[in-house]
């Protein structure tokens, strides 16, 4: 149960961080009149890359062989 809770909390955290990035990134690019295609590509690459790194770190912690063992 703990693994599911941590995984859900991590995914929720990633969602909020990426939403914050998008809320800041889109107005900045609109102010500089960047084409929509470039804005969408950069948003997709950054969001996917950061999400992948954060989820990998969370999964590595949760599913490590020593997770949950008493010290």
**Beta carbons of 16 and 53 less than 8 angstroms apart:** no
Q: Which of 64 and 48 is assigned the larger pLDDT?
A: 48
The predicted structure's pLDDT at residue 68: 61
In a domain, 53, yes or no: yes
In a domain, 28, yes or no: no
The predicted structure's pLDDT at residue 8: 66
If you average pLDDT over residues 24-32, what whole number do you get?
87
Q: Which of 58 and 49 is assigned the larger pLDDT?
A: 49
In a domain, 71, yes or no: no
In a domain, 21, yes or no: no
If you average pLDDT over residues 34-51, what whole number do you get?
86
If you average pLDDT over residues 33-60, what whole number do you get?
83
The predicted structure's pLDDT at residue 3: 56
- Determine the structural domain holding residue 45 and report its residue range: 1-14+33-63
Number of domains in the chain: 1
**Beta carbons of 51 and 21 less than 8 angstroms apart:** no
In a domain, 54, yes or no: yes
């Amino acid at each position: 149960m703990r693994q599911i809770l941590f995984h859900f909390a991590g995914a929720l955290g990633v969602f909020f961080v990426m939403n914050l990035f998008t809320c800041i990134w889109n107005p900045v690019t609109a102010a500089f009149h960047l084409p929509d295609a470039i804005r969408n590509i950069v948003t997709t690459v950054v969001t996917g890359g950061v999400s992948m790194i954060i989820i990998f770190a969370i999964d590595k912690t949760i599913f490590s062989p020593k997770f949950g063992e008493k010290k």
